[in-house]
Structure 1
Amino acid sequence: MEALAVKSALRITLSYGAGFGFILMARLLIKLTRPDIVADGGRPAFKHSTELLDEYDFIVIGGGSAGAVVASRLSENPAWNVLLLEAGPDETILSDVPLFMAALQKSPIDWQFKTEPSDTYCLGMKNRQCKWPRGKVLGGSSTINAMLYVRGNRRDYDLWGMENPGWDFANVLPYFIRSEDVRIDRLKWSPYHGFGGYQTVEEFKFSSPIVTKFLKAGRELGYPIRDLNGEYQTGFMKSQGTLRDGLRCSTAKAYLRPCRKRKNLHISLNSYVQKININPFTRRAESVTFKTEFLGVKTIRTKREIILSAGALQSPQLLMLSGVGPKNHLQDMNVSVILDLPGVGENLQDHVALGGTAYLINNPDPTGPSPGFVLPKSLTLPAVQEFTTNKSGPLYGLPECEAMAFVHTKYSNPSDDWPDIQLFLASYADNTDGGVFGKRDSGLTDEYYASCYENILYRDSYSVLPLLMRPKSRGKIRLKSSDPNDPPLIYPNYFDHPDDIKVLVEGAKFGYAMSQTMTMKSMNATLNPYCSPECLKYGFLTDKYWECQIRHYTMTIYHPVGTCKMGPAKDHMSVVDKRLRVHGIWNLRVADASIMPTITTGNTNAPVIMIGEKVSDLIKEDAYYEDRYWFENSVRTR
């Protein structure tokens, strides 16, 4: 009977074509044939709001890349009751499948934020607004991101450590290692990787043939192929991901499922925090007010601390809604000021990229396999059967970044091993899916997409996305109003500093240089000549041409950081100290990407997991000394 149901589902699925109908039916197939993905018995138990206690030792706001880690680690102490509040639902079945990553954007588990309109970037997007996806789901953005595992550069952390002792590379590396369970055989004996940690790291199960060519082209340009999470960062590698048995391994799966039987950890889903209640006289964070799905607004007290892990957009938003932030802005929003902390919402940084480059593959052997990734060829009966029956095939792939590189432009010194450009080497381009995902997720206008890709739809192509690693421009987050249901105002201020566009132009030129290597020429790879006709007036491939392209197809890689900057009290723009305690407020910490003083060199998910690991130890240490202090003083007074 099950086999018949699967066969019928496959027929229905295929009738929908290479789009969302296919994915919806694939969900049914997974439920029928992959109990290892459904795994309801392995998921943590969730508390209905009526079952919650009135008071907890610790309240963690946000169950994302850091919050899930913190809740898991703090609940290791059976004497502490820990409450984790997550605004979204549990992970979906589809979120486990790497290929469906793009389909998770603009879905109910995405906050679907947008930047404010701009006249200098995102010019090819609707209303000149960049889309900024953020995970509204247990696991946060680790449940909807590209799963790429990149730690960053040792110099990133040594720079942090100059003002924040304990955050240099030597002190944070043990937390990366502790968190990790690497399952890549050649890294088995690496001193830079961990084994037996909660967060599994693997290479993607499926690779397109073009990946080998990407790596060979890197060698031709003088770059080594190496583990970019090892001793050195400059070079090329096949992408490493937060994966387990080829499937997504979010922090919810990694950190919360193993502790699902702990009686002292309560997880409340669909619980949107509206305010942290801070006593205006003592400046102590005393409770949290949140809105539940069915029972309205609820307030719960804390005995010890509140840990804010809502991410780089919503952590500063919630601080401001709670009366902590720039005084003038709070007054303009009619928010009662508890503490004038001008750095809240400032210092916003992101890895901005050039999207949309399509290098057409003119395969000299048309009878051979396609070297790239074409979506309609992957959403087929054989591909689904491979996934459901053999646990293999293209559904285990991430065409958006099958390989990556860290390279140097003329603006950085190669001897420093501190690359200023990261490359996503994609086995497809925006033309190859006919606009099903790329156009939709980027928010491109119909006119812009047509001008670029109408003549090359579904043609075999690859793409090289250059990412700016160390932007000098700084953006900000502001409240739209005092209503917590309003999204924050996002001003990334891309390219405010002129050096940023110069470096990114060099990154685009590096991508073109790759196409001129003997390896890529063997596929007769040619850059799409149609894109952005308005840029051709500057001369094809000139610096001005690339700048025009960048300003039109401005792409976020979803790495916002820095809006609750870590720093000493003498830095008036810092928000938290080296132990991630909010300056001037008792019992309140921030632990997520917002505390980064400067953005790391590479994807930010792994560093945020590290932050969750480290702050958990800091909280435990502080609790130990506080308890010891009270015990010793109580003995003296007897």
Structure 2
Amino acid sequence: MVGAGSAGCVVASRLSEDPDRSVLLLEGGPDRRAPGLARAIASRNGIGIFAHHRAFWPDQRATHLAGGRLGWYLRGYGIGGSSSVNSMLALPGLPRDYDRWADELGCTGWSWADVRPWFEALKPRLTASTDAELTPLDSALLASAAELGLKRDLDTFDDPSDGAGVLLRNATPHGRHSSAEDWLRPAMDRPNLTVRPDTPVERLLFDGTRCVGVRTATGEELHADEVVLSAGVIGSPAVLLRSGVDRPGIGHHLRDHPAVSVGLVLRPAYREARADLPCTGTVLRTSSGAGDGDIHLLPMHGDSSGSGEVHGVLMAALMTSRSDGTVRLDPDDPSGPPRIDLRMLEDPADRRAMHEALRCLVRALRSSAFAEVVEAVRVDDRGSDLTALLDEDFADAWLPDHVGDYFHATGTCRMGPASDPGSVVDLQGRVHGHTGLRVIDASVMPDTPSANTHTPTVMIAERLSAALRGLPW
């Protein structure tokens, strides 16, 4: 197995439940147990981790808009992958997401009716913030929903309608529950499971069209009856491309949720952020003219920049994206970090929906609920007024410097029938045209669900692990 991230930890744990199967899990990054970093990873807060650069893949950059400047592309580095650095928010997505996978994208067996039981099986691992744990910005978001004509008690996991509600999370009162903590570490005493951190994989080994092993970055060759790539949306296509796997969809169809944030200066009584409690616990979901439930507003209490100038942010994210990006090898350094070009908002429908998301953000911040908590809004360094975002010309000029990704990349090895040249794997994660080789991670999603993608990634890992073992899936 290649990659011990959100999916790989789950797959390694499930496969090693079979005592007759020997599992070797290779992870390119470290086993992150240095005390300071370990405390930041374990924290339920979610903001403090950004002060630890070692938690993220080094030298990984991306352009977010076509022709835009390169910026840091943050992905979790080491055992646990991005499940060790994300905001721990658990959402399955909307039923329409998975019905589209099945009905429009050729992924029979992946409809909402098919995947829902797997999401339900994950719910006992999740917890919700209590009323006492909600931040002042969480409370303001819930209260603002009524002023926007939306319900404020939305069941964010099970109810697909618009509204605001408290989120479930991959955490307990004692701290974060990453895929490493929930799945891998409880299995590491098994004699048939070996985990090797600090072992990046360069390429795959083949005997004809059969994959027979991997070659590490140091030149070591390791042979296996089956190879599972779980190196993530960037790493899995990069390994396939370096290995000469000939499938035109590899590295294409890269999608993420475009997101923007404005800084919030809070009134003095609300400024202190609680380092031991979640920085966010609620979401507001609403619909643009382009789709149902395709806009999220998410408050975060705390200063991730470390500047001390703001005390929180309100983020607006577009949860249905139609713009496709790419992951390609750098021709000057094929073994180095790949070139990531997200090409966000390139589809005109995405840009129109983002304008609607900005209007929703402005309406929320102008509500009496936010006015009670927020002293000033920082739109940009020039001191622009919040209402300037309502002007589409201003917004179009503002977006290149402010749009980012929501850390929800998918699709670079997407599943689908072999007749679809854009698909890379079949409905069980097997790479088209090859044997002994599967991809099991978020890269196989045929489209990005309207959710934080950790929970859908775990669902996929659970289902495809069962398929590999010959169990019902």
| TM-score, with structure 2 as normaliser | 0.91
Residues 126-275 of structure 1 aligned to structure 2 (within 5 Å): 128-162=69-103, 163-178=106-121, 180=122, 194-195=123-124, 199-203=125-129, 206-224=133-151, 225-275=153-203
Letter in 2 for 1:146: S
Q: Separation in 2 of the partners of 1:608 and 1:552?
A: 30
Larger fraction in helix: 1
Q: Which residue of 2 aligns with 1:406?
A: 285
Query: 1:509 is paired with a residue of what secondary structure?
Result: helix
Asked if 1:352 corresponds to 2:294, the answer is: no
Letter in 2 for 1:263: P
Letter in 1 for 2:426: D
Letter in 1 for 2:233: A
Q: Which residue of 1 aligns with 2:297?
A: 423
Q: Separation in 1 of the partners of 2:213 and 2:67?
A: 42
Asked if 1:600 corresponds to 2:445, the answer is: no
Q: Separation in 2 of the partners of 1:99 and 1:165?
A: 39
Letter in 1 for 2:249: G
Q: 1:342 aligns with which of 248, 251, 274?
A: 248
Asked if 1:321 corresponds to 2:242, the answer is: yes
Cα deviation, residue 425, structure 1? 1.5
Change in Cα spacing, 1:115 to 1:532, as seen in structure 2 (3 Å) is farther
Q: Separation in 2 of the partners of 1:472 and 1:115?
A: 18
Change in Cα spacing, 1:618 to 1:243, as seen in structure 2 (3 Å) is same
Change in Cα spacing, 1:158 to 1:142, as seen in structure 2 (3 Å) is same
- Contact 1:157/1:167 (<8 A) preserved: yes
Letter in 2 for 1:423: L
Cα deviation, residue 521, structure 1? 3.0
- Contact 2:64/2:403 (<8 A) preserved: no
Q: Which residue of 2 aligns with 1:586?
A: 435
User: What is the CA deviation profile of residues 306-353 of structure 1, one whole-angstrom value per residue up to 9, with x for unaligned ones?
Assistant: 1100000110000011111xxxxxxxxxxxxxxx31000000001111
- Contact 1:105/1:133 (<8 A) preserved: no
User: What is the CA deviation profile of residues 24-72 of structure 1, one whole-angstrom value per residue up to 9, with x for unaligned ones?
Assistant: xxxxxxxxxxxxxxxxxxxxxxxxxxxxxxxxxxxx1101111111110
Query: 1:504 is paired with a residue of what secondary structure?
Result: helix
Query: 2:53 is paired with a residue of what secondary structure?
Result: coil
Q: 1:286 aligns with which of 207, 212, 221?
A: 212
Structure 2: state its 5+ residue gaps: none
User: What is the CA deviation profile of residues 194-232 of structure 1, one whole-angstrom value per residue up to 9, with x for unaligned ones?
Assistant: 43xxx4444378332332222011122121222211132
Letter in 1 for 2:244: G
Change in Cα spacing, 1:99 to 1:522, as seen in structure 2 (3 Å) is closer
Rg larger in structure? 1
| TM-score, with structure 1 as normaliser | 0.68
Change in Cα spacing, 1:263 to 1:160, as seen in structure 2 (3 Å) is same
Query: 1:177 is paired with a residue of what secondary structure?
Result: helix
Change in Cα spacing, 1:117 to 1:154, as seen in structure 2 (3 Å) is closer
Letter in 2 for 1:410: G
Q: Which residue of 2 aligns with 1:7?
A: none
Q: Separation in 2 of the partners of 1:550 and 1:221?
A: 24
Letter in 2 for 1:152: G
Q: Separation in 2 of the partners of 1:484 and 1:101?
A: 33
Change in Cα spacing, 1:137 to 1:580, as seen in structure 2 (3 Å) is same
Query: 1:155 is paired with a residue of what secondary structure?
Result: helix
Query: 1:569 is paired with a residue of what secondary structure?
Result: coil
Q: Separation in 2 of the partners of 1:604 and 1:105?
A: 23
Q: 2:229 aligns with which of 295, 299, 308?
A: 308
Cα deviation, residue 483, structure 1? 5.1
Query: 1:317 is paired with a residue of what secondary structure?
Result: helix
User: What CA RMSD, in Å, does the superposition of the two structures yield over aligned residues?
Assistant: 2.4
Q: Separation in 2 of the partners of 1:524 and 1:397?
A: 20
Cα deviation, residue 104, structure 1? 4.3
User: What is the CA deviation profile of residues 167-217 of structure 1, one whole-angstrom value per residue up to 9, with x for unaligned ones?
Assistant: 111111122222x2xxxxxxxxxxxxx43xxx4444378332332222011
Cα deviation, residue 148, structure 1? 1.2
- Contact 2:99/2:112 (<8 A) preserved: yes
Cα deviation, residue 471, structure 1? 1.2
Q: 1:395 aligns with which of 253, 275, 279?
A: 275
Letter in 2 for 1:175: W
Change in Cα spacing, 1:526 to 1:513, as seen in structure 2 (3 Å) is farther
Change in Cα spacing, 1:202 to 1:577, as seen in structure 2 (3 Å) is same
- Contact 2:66/2:344 (<8 A) preserved: no
- Contact 2:188/2:194 (<8 A) preserved: no
Deviates more, 1:145-154 or 1:85-94: 85-94
Change in Cα spacing, 1:105 to 1:73, as seen in structure 2 (3 Å) is farther
Q: 1:509 aligns with which of 356, 359, 382?
A: 359
User: What is the CA deviation profile of residues 406-460 of structure 1, one whole-angstrom value per residue up to 9, with x for unaligned ones?
Assistant: 1112333xxxxx31111112234xxx56x427xxxxxxxxxxxxxxxxxxx535x
Change in Cα spacing, 1:138 to 1:213, as seen in structure 2 (3 Å) is same
- Contact 2:325/2:342 (<8 A) preserved: yes
Q: Separation in 2 of the partners of 1:544 and 1:89?
A: 46
- Contact 1:577/1:583 (<8 A) preserved: yes
Cα deviation, residue 259, structure 1? 1.7
Q: Which residue of 2 aligns with 1:628?
A: none
- Contact 2:63/2:70 (<8 A) preserved: yes
Q: Separation in 1 of the partners of 2:16 and 2:453?
A: 25
Cα deviation, residue 110, structure 1? 1.2
Letter in 2 for 1:610: M
Q: Separation in 1 of the partners of 2:324 and 2:418?
A: 21
User: What is the CA deviation profile of residues 381-427 of structure 1, one whole-angstrom value per residue up to 9, with x for unaligned ones?
Assistant: xxxxxxxxxxxxx223333x332121112333xxxxx3111111223
Q: Which residue of 1 aligns with 2:27?
A: 86
- Contact 1:402/1:427 (<8 A) preserved: no
User: What is the CA deviation profile of residues 44-102 of structure 1, one whole-angstrom value per residue up to 9, with x for unaligned ones?
Assistant: xxxxxxxxxxxxxxxx1101111111110111111111111111122332210133644
Cα deviation, residue 527, structure 1? 3.3
Letter in 2 for 1:97: S
Q: 1:277 aligns with which of 202, 205, 219?
A: 205
- Contact 2:129/2:281 (<8 A) preserved: no
Cα deviation, residue 484, structure 1? 5.6
Cα deviation, residue 165, structure 1? 1.3
Asked if 1:458 corresponds to 2:309, the answer is: yes
Q: Separation in 1 of the partners of 2:380 and 2:196?
A: 50
Cα deviation, residue 144, structure 1? 1.2
Asked if 1:71 corresponds to 2:12, the answer is: yes
How many residues in Structure 1 have an aligned counterpart in Structure 2? 461
Q: Separation in 2 of the partners of 1:518 and 1:411?
A: 28
Question: Percent identity between the aligned chains?
Answer: 29
Structure 1: state its 5+ residue gaps: 1-59, 122-127, 181-193, 325-339, 379-393, 413-417, 438-456, 625-638
Q: 1:115 aligns with which of 52, 59, 62?
A: 62
Query: 1:84 is paired with a residue of what secondary structure?
Result: strand
